[in-house]
């Protein structure tokens, strides 16, 4: 692998592709309601369409990262960690990064076409939201966080479109709230790590008041718990409330995530799930418990 190819690989942020696994949530929460877990052919159909959807979003999100790196090249060069990114460090030229981003965008749309117009529509909405974030939303405190979180809600909707099942408002709401919880912790971590120079690297940070995150993080966390509990005990919920069993890993995962993000010298919050075994176990336990309860309860 030559240097430019290696630099491009780093620039597309493969470690961040984990975020696109959120598309699979639609398959987990629609099992035995809109597809048959006991049918091998249905398993293959769902698995293939999920894989194609995730690949399309990996290409789209990588295109967004490249466009953002070109847009932020000057501020990234002054950032203690971001200055090592390929575009900021000079390993990739802005022109090459732009061309790669355009090709990835076209590839994402081409792959998405295999899943139908509904999926492509959600994919285009994600790209439009990302462009709006870079152009305007990122400068408005609160709005920028909600815009990022909404991108995860769109991922959940894309998963439903990929396997051709109805979009669940519960799933979109929980996905958005979960992402908002992470964004609040990421902003808090940036302020704690960078200190007085934080607004230089991300201008919107100066607009968050001291103590805001001490309220916003637990408030959002309890909303996640409350909304999931309401989903689990609603009148038409499968398993007669057994889905509440999945609430324990949710609470433990949120608690663990917040503790890790607030530790001195903590890893970037984007990497915590794949780097911390207990947190990864909590996420896995939530997915497995939800799938089993839904599959047996319907």
The SS3 assignment for 35 reads strand
Of the candidates 159, 148, 150, 149, the one whose C-alpha atom is nearest the C-alpha of residue 54 is 159
Question: Residue 224, exposed/middle/buried by CB under 10 A (0-12, 13-18, 19+)?
Answer: buried
Is the pLDDT reported for residue 128 higher than 70?
yes
Is the pLDDT reported for residue 241 higher than 80?
yes
Is the pLDDT reported for residue 159 higher than 70?
yes
Average pLDDT over the chain, rounded to whole?
92
The rounded percent of the chain whose pLDDT value lies above 90 is 70
More confident residue, 245 or 266: 245
CA atoms within 13 A on the CB side of 64: 25
Of the candidates 60, 69, 105, 110, the one whose C-alpha atom is nearest the C-alpha of residue 89 is 69
* Tokens matching residue 178: 């979960």
- CATH (one of 1.20.140.10, 3.60.110.10, 2.60.120.1140, 1.10.357.140) for 1-140+156-167: 1.10.357.140
Q: Range with the lowest mean pLDDT among 58-62, 138-142, 234-238, 261-265?
A: 261-265
* Beta bridge partners of residue 31, listed in sequence order: 35
pLDDT of residue 1: 67
Q: How many CB atoms lie within 10 A of CB 134?
A: 16
pLDDT of residue 132: 97
pLDDT of residue 179: 98
Q: Which helix (H) or strand (E) holds 239?
A: none
pLDDT of residue 37: 81
Handedness of CA 166, 157, 118, 34 (dihedral sign): negative
The whole-angstrom separation of Cα 6 and Cα 74 is: 22
* Tokens matching residue 125: 């909405």
Query: Region 12-17: what's the mean pLDDT?
Result: 93
Q: Where are the domains of the chain?
A: 1-140+156-167, 168-298
Cβ neighbours of residue 114 under 8 Å, at least 6 residues apart?
Answer: 52
Is the pLDDT reported for residue 286 higher than 70?
yes
- State the pTM of this model: 0.92
């Amino acid at each position: 692998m030559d240097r430019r190819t290696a630099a491009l690989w780093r620039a597309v942020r493969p470690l961040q592709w984990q975020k696109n696994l959120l598309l699979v949530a639609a398959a987990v929460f629609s099992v035995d309601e809109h597809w048959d877990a006991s049918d091998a052919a249905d398993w293959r159909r769902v698995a293939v369409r999920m894989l194609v959807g995730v690949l399309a979003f990996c290409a789209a999100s990588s295109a967004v990262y490249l466009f953002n790196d070109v847009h932020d090249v000057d501020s990234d060069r002054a950032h203690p960690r971001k200055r090592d990114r390929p575009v900021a460090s000079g390993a990739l030229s802005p022109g090459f990064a732009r061309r790669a981003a355009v090709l990835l965008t076209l590839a994402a749309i081409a792959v998405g076409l295999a899943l139908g117009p509904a999926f492509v529509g959600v994919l285009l909405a994600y790209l439009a939201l990302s462009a709006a974030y870079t152009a305007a939303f990122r400068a408005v405190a609160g709005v920028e966080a909600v815009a990022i979180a909404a991108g995860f809600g769109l991922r959940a909707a894309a998963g439903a479109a990929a396997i051709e099942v109805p979009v669940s408002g519960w799933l979109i709401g929980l996905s958005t709230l979960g992402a908002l919880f992470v964004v609040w912790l990421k902003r808090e971590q940036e302020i704690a790590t960078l200190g007085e120079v934080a607004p230089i690297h991300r201008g919107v940070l100066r607009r968050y008041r001291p103590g805001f995150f001490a309220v916003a993080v637990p408030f959002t966390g309890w909303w996640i718990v409350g909304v999931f509990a309401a989903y689990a005990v609603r009148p038409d919920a499968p398993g007669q409330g057994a889905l509440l069993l999945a609430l324990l890993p949710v609470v433990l995962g949120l608690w663990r995530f917040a503790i890790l993000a607030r530790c001195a010298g903590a890893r970037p919050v984007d990497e915590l799930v794949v780097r911390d075994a207990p947190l990864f176990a909590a996420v896995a336990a939530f997915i497995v418990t939800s799938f089993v309860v839904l599959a047996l309860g319907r």
